[in-house]
Amino acid sequence: MRRGWMLVLALWLALCGCDEEKKLTNNNGPGVGELGGPCHPDDTCNTEALICVDGVCEAVVDPCAGVDCGEAGQCRPSPFAEGEVECVCAEGAFVALDLACTFGETLTTREFFGQELVVELETRFYYMYVPSSYDHATASPLLMDLHGTAGELPELAYGLDAAKAAAEEYGFVLVRPRSRSSQEGDWIVYRWDQNQGDTERNHAFITALVTAVSRRVNLAPERLYLMGFSSGTNQTARALADAATPFAGFGFVGGGLWIANQLQDLGRVYLATGFRDYMRTYHYNLTGRLDAIGFAPERRFVREFDGGHELYGFFYPEMFAFFDGGERPVAGTPASPWERETFVDTASLVTVLTAPDGTVFAAGTGNGLFRRQAQDSWERVTIAGTSAFPGRTLTDLCFTEDGTGLGIGEGQLVRSMDAGATWIHGPRVGEVDSPYFGYQFLNGAACADGAVVATGYWQGARSDDGGVTWADVSFDAGYGQRAQGAVVATAPWGTWTAGGYWQYLGRSDDGVVFSPAEVPAAAPAEWFYDLVAVGPDRWIAVGDHGTILVSDDDGASYACVVCDGAGENLYAVGFAGDNGLAVGGHGAALLSRDGGATWEDVSTGLDGFLGDVVWLSASEALVVGEAGLVLRYAVEN
């Protein structure tokens, strides 16, 4: 019996031992090479979805799982940090300024009007032009162009064709944002500081717009540039006051700044505000603020010109070339037969004339007034007293028959009571009509019959006592407003004429009441900058875009002589008999030998502007201009 129990126990133990061994080797767990199981001896697993880690087969984890790189992006392990991933752009895509990948705009057109962008819960608008050379594969520069004060669709106003032409030539993307606006009477006025707080709101819009545009076209982040005209200059200054601005170039045309923000010492700046522009005040504000922060001269390009408030096409190419590569036009050397005369100063000269006693005077920047003592010999004239606007530019001079001399420009007045022997600063000429500046911003003046008549922005004045007191002269422009004047001229037979903006030419018999003259529709000039009486009842008028007109009815109407619009701006014209010389921007000079009927190109070969001309004799002229330039020109028979 005892032996039987022992046999049963042995059999039970044997059976239990077999089951335990079976349990250890076949317990329904992962097998070799399976997920969670031991690796094969060669450290492999059964499928590519598994990887051997420390002898155990584990699932391969996709490091990009859950990573969204967008439609135009792809995720991949980072080649720089183990275990990290990065997004890269898919083929044909590029990186926007916010580092997002984008396939960009489908460029079925290159010109985009009325584009929308919501910023701070407000729908804003802009215009974009993409040059024909653009391709998404290559990052391009950007020029953002801020308009001046305008009505509807302001982003299309002021120089659009010239801006597009420059975009084609230099390959930059052109963007023109639209400012905010408000209702003024019957007009909707768009201006960058039109409403309280607009400067900051527009700054946020412009900053956001750069990024938004970079999702549509491939932009080079180091080649983003901003410019503004008129009120757009102050908005441009706001960007220059932002240490985090995306822009590397800042252009100021026809203005400067009036915000108090601290400017940053960043990038390059381009400045172009004419000597006959009422926004010169803000230009001086800007240059003073740049000086205060030590902004380097080599990063400034100041384009001087003797013009009014205008956005000229030549600004775009030279501005972009300076922003993008620091390029400046070559100064040049005088072409034959021009001869340069030694001058005593580096002031830019805007006006020159001969006093009744034959002495030649010139005037210009920095309250500069100069007397010619002999050929190649000039002296700076001391002006007693204190200027109403120290450092500003004298833009015109004239003498009455009794030897009273007057000089005006940018709000200032200088006087001489002794034929130019001594001079004194006078007070600013007060406004006599609607207030604009707190003084009259006068640009041009002429003297005759003991009187001086001056014209400027929306106002004019006449003095019959040598500039002591002044009376109103309206210069009616004929379109319901007073003219923005640039010049007044007189004839020996008593006629007065005037010229200025919006093709203004006027005529007066008495220097008190001026009536608009008839201007040919074909004339391309926006501004007429000078007038001269050539002979009985004959006048020559010159203006921008190379315009030359002639009147043979004593200034009542004019006809085209040169109206192709292809020439440089002409700032001055003078005659001695039949010989005439018209001079202007970029060293331009035209000669007439027949009283203004025909003209030939006798340009100087210089880049700087020529401001005025006076004839020393019937065959020799003296021309003054930029940076102390004085030239003589002898007419060859």
Cα 349 from Cα 365, distance rounded (Å): 7
What pLDDT shows up at residue 15?
45
Quote the radius of gyration of the chain (alpha carbons, Å).
Answer: 37
What pLDDT shows up at residue 62?
85
What's the token pair of residue 577? 């008999």
Flag whether pLDDT at 25 surpasses 70: no
What's the token pair of residue 558? 């004019």
Among the listed residues 97, 100, 68, 71, the one whose alpha carbon sits nearest the alpha carbon of residue 85: 68
SS3 291: helix
What pLDDT shows up at residue 606?
98
- pLDDT tens column, 251-298: 999 999 999 999 999 999 999 999 999 999 999 999 999 999 999 999
- pLDDT tens column, 222-242: 999 999 999 999 999 999 999
Among the listed residues 342, 347, 343, 477, the one whose alpha carbon sits nearest the alpha carbon of residue 409: 347
- In DSSP terms, 302 is beta-bridged to 271
In the chain, what is the straight-line distance between the N-terminal and C-terminal CA atoms, in Å?
158
- Domains of the chain, with CATH numbers? 41-91 (no CATH), 106-325 (3.40.50.1820), 344-557 (2.130.10.10)
- pLDDT tens column, 418-475: 999 999 999 999 887 777 899 999 999 999 999 999 999 999 999 999 999 999 998 9
Mean pLDDT of the 324-353 span: 97
| Dihedral pair phi/psi, residue 291, rounded to 5° | -60, -40
Flag whether pLDDT at 12 surpasses 70: no
Flag whether pLDDT at 78 surpasses 80: yes
Flag whether pLDDT at 614 surpasses 60: yes
With bands split at pLDDT 50, 70 and 90, how would you rate the model's confidence at 27? low
DSSP string, 557-578: B-EEEE-SS-SPPEEEEEEETT
pTM (predicted TM-score): 0.89
What's the token pair of residue 165? 């032409």
Q: How many CB atoms sit inside 10 A of residue 588's CB?
A: 21
Length of the chain, please? 637
Flag whether pLDDT at 625 surpasses 90: yes
Among the listed residues 323, 261, 251, the one whose alpha carbon sits nearest the alpha carbon of residue 289: 261
With bands split at pLDDT 50, 70 and 90, how would you rate the model's confidence at 99? confident
Q: Are 375 and 631 in contact (CB under 8 A)?
A: no
Residue that has been written with the tokens 């108090």 in this structure: 260
